[in-house]
Amino acid sequence: MKYSTASSWPTVTLDDVRGAQKMLNGIARVTAMEGSRHLSQLVGSPVHFKCENLQRTGSFKLRGAYVRIAGLIAEERAAGVVAASAGNHAQGVALASSLLGVRSTVFMPKGAPLPKVAATREYGAEVRLEGTVVDETLAAAEDYARETGAVFIHPFDHRDVIAGQGTVGLEILEQCPEVRTIVVGIGGGGLAAGIAVAVKALRPDVKVIGVQAAGAAAYPPSLAAGHPVAIDSPATMADGIKVGRPGDVPFGIVADLVDEVRTVSEDALSSALLLCLERAKLVVEPAGASPVAALLQDPESVQGPVVAVLSGGNVDPLLMQRILRHGMAAAGRYLSLRLRLTDRPGALATLLGVLTVVDANVLDVGHVRTDPRLGLTEVEVELHLETKGPEHCAEVAEALQEAGYMVMP
């Protein structure tokens, strides 16, 4: 997609990305490229994962943070740096600063997951918990920068940051020279912009597709307007791409070089995370799984070989637990239903016997006896079952109907 307004925005060049790659030599890992047999079958051509979830600090963010901080002059380094983040950028800035001998202060929301807060401190940053949402945390960090003279390190809206993230694109071309399509998640746009700069300069035939969560999709209206547009109250489980407004610098690059921006549902995100865990044995956070979600939603719309960038793997265990349950439900692995039984001894045992025959595992049973809609001798039973997929769910429902049970709407 080409937008005439894009040329008015600051840009990043291939030389910038190559310079960043030299700077990151020995600092950032050249992360693995892993094949996905399941997605390859769906797409009809090879699909590979670029595993930035296995990068140092658990995400690609170290690349851009290091390049940005390494480019500071002596006076700026002496003043220290400050950042605001709920997780990945915080850890990237903390480690980059420690490696470069620069003092760092990172503001994080009060509700930030404890493992991310602990990791940021362990990487050497002073952590301050301010605000309940990222916008409040960002404001606190900017106030700190003005008061102390510390350099604010933006997570995506700076040329050096984008150049650092673009090194992912160079690695993709080196590891998978036959690639035809690259799919990458978009929040503020730094990673997608950097990859597009590197890839389009060397291989303009390669299609770059950006992916946003449907509940936090600021790029589609921004691209339509020709300039960054803020959306109200972005909402998604994918906190790594939960950004309400594109960055000015990455927007111009994305508008000019990224071929398409798609959106994915929360169900698709959770299903993608589950697939990465079960099939690829990779722990990936929801934002990192967004390219996989796009491939699951429309596998026949991309030309392979395909590289899906798994941008991060920092996911709170409690959130992981909820997402996995959601993903299993979306994949038809859970079945919840309500039935009415005659309230007599043995009725529940008979029902459970039917479920045993069809190999459905009962997770939970609930009884309701006081609903005015029930007859005098009736009881309503709510069942939560673990199943093997949509076909098995249909088999369970059919077995219950054949046994004379009426499943309530």
Picking from 256, 231, 253, the residue whose alpha carbon sits closest to that of residue 16 is: 253
Task: Verify whether residue 4 is a known catalytic residue.
Answer: no
Q: What is the pLDDT of residue 5?
A: 43
Q: What is the pLDDT of residue 276?
A: 93
The pTM for the full model equals 0.84
Percentage of the chain modeled with pLDDT above 70: 95
3-state secondary structure of 405: coil
Q: Is the peptide bond before 204 cis (omega within 30 degrees of 0)?
A: no
Which one from 61, 116, 200, 207 is the annotated catalytic residue? 61
pLDDT: which is higher, 3 or 278:
278
Distance from the Cα of residue 89 to its chain's centroid: 14
Q: Is the confidence at residue 268, as pLDDT, over 80?
A: yes
**Section 326-338 average pLDDT:** 76
Q: Is the Cα dihedral 69, 155, 133, 326 positive or negative?
A: negative
Distance CA 190, CA 171 (A): 16
Q: Is the confidence at residue 1, as pLDDT, over 50?
A: no
Element (H, E) at 392: helix 390-402
Q: What is the pLDDT of residue 159?
A: 96
Q: What is the pLDDT of residue 136?
A: 83
Which residue is associated with the tokens 């590891």? 175
Picking from 297, 111, 306, 287, the residue whose alpha carbon sits closest to that of residue 207 is: 306
Q: Is the confidence at residue 132, as pLDDT, over 80?
A: no
Q: What is the pLDDT of residues 203-248, one digit of tens each?
A: 999 999 999 999 999 999 999 999 999 998 888 888 888 888 999 9
Where residue 3 falls among pLDDT bands split at 50, 70, 90?
A: very low
Which one from 97, 104, 271, 311 is the annotated catalytic residue? 311
3-state secondary structure of 118: helix
Percentage of the chain modeled with pLDDT above 90: 64
Q: With contact defined as beta carbons under 8 Å apart, do 196 and 309 qualify?
A: no
**Section 120-129 average pLDDT:** 95
Distance CA 154, CA 152 (A): 6
Q: What is the pLDDT of residues 340-362, one digit of tens each?
A: 777 788 878 888 888 888 888 88
**Section 179-187 average pLDDT:** 97
Structure tokens of 57? Answer: 């600090």
Query: Read out DSSP for 232-280?
Result: SS---S-GGG--SS--HHHHHHHHHH--EEEEE-HHHHHHHHHHHHHHS
Q: What is the pLDDT of residue 113?
A: 77
**Tally of CB atoms within 10 A around 74:** 7
Q: Is the confidence at residue 106, as pLDDT, over 50?
A: yes
Q: What is the pLDDT of residue 333?
A: 78
Distance CA 100, CA 24 (A): 12
Task: Verify whether residue 22 is a known catalytic residue.
Answer: no
